[in-house]
Amino acid sequence: MAAPTAKALMRSRYVAYVLGLESYLLATWHPSTRPAELKLDEGPPRWLGLAIKHHELQDDNHATVEFVARYKIDGRAYRLHETSRFVREEGRWFYIDGDIQA
C-alpha cells in the first residue's frame, strides 16, 4: 500500500532503515536520484528515534518534510537533521533528496 502523504512515507522509510529493508528504500526513492544500492549491511547504525519537525505541501504533488533522526555508531550518538523533498507521481509519493541542516 502506498503512503498517503510525504510525512507517512518519511516515517515508513525511517522504519525501513531501522529494519534494513533496502528494497523498500530503493522502491520509494525517485528514479532520478535513486542510487544503485545502499549497502545497509556495512556498519549499520543503531537507530534510536525519529522526530518530524515540519511537513509542508508546496502543491498537490510536491512536499517537504523536516526531521531529526537519532542514531549510534560504535557507542557514539549522532543526529541527522534533514529537510527532505518528495514528489507524488501517479498517486505514489517518492523521496527525491534532502538538505542536511546544521
- Is residue 1 a part of any domain in this protein? no
Number of domains observed in the structure of the chain: 1
Please give the Cα distance from 36 to 33 (Å, whole number): 10
> What is the residue-level pLDDT of the chain in tens, covering all 102 positions?
789 999 999 999 999 999 999 999 999 999 999 999 998 877 779 999 999 999 999 999 999 999 999 999 999 999 999 999 999 999 999 999 999 997
- Is residue 41 a part of any domain in this protein? yes
**Parent domain of 94:** 6-100
For residue 41, the domain's CATH number is: 3.10.450.50
The confidence score (pLDDT) of residue 15 equals 96
- On whether the pTM is more than 0.85, the answer is yes
Mean pLDDT of the chain: 95
Q: Length of the chain, please? A: 102
Please give the Cα distance from 45 to 11 (Å, whole number): 17
Residue 8 cell numbers, joined: 507517512
The confidence score (pLDDT) of residue 39 equals 86
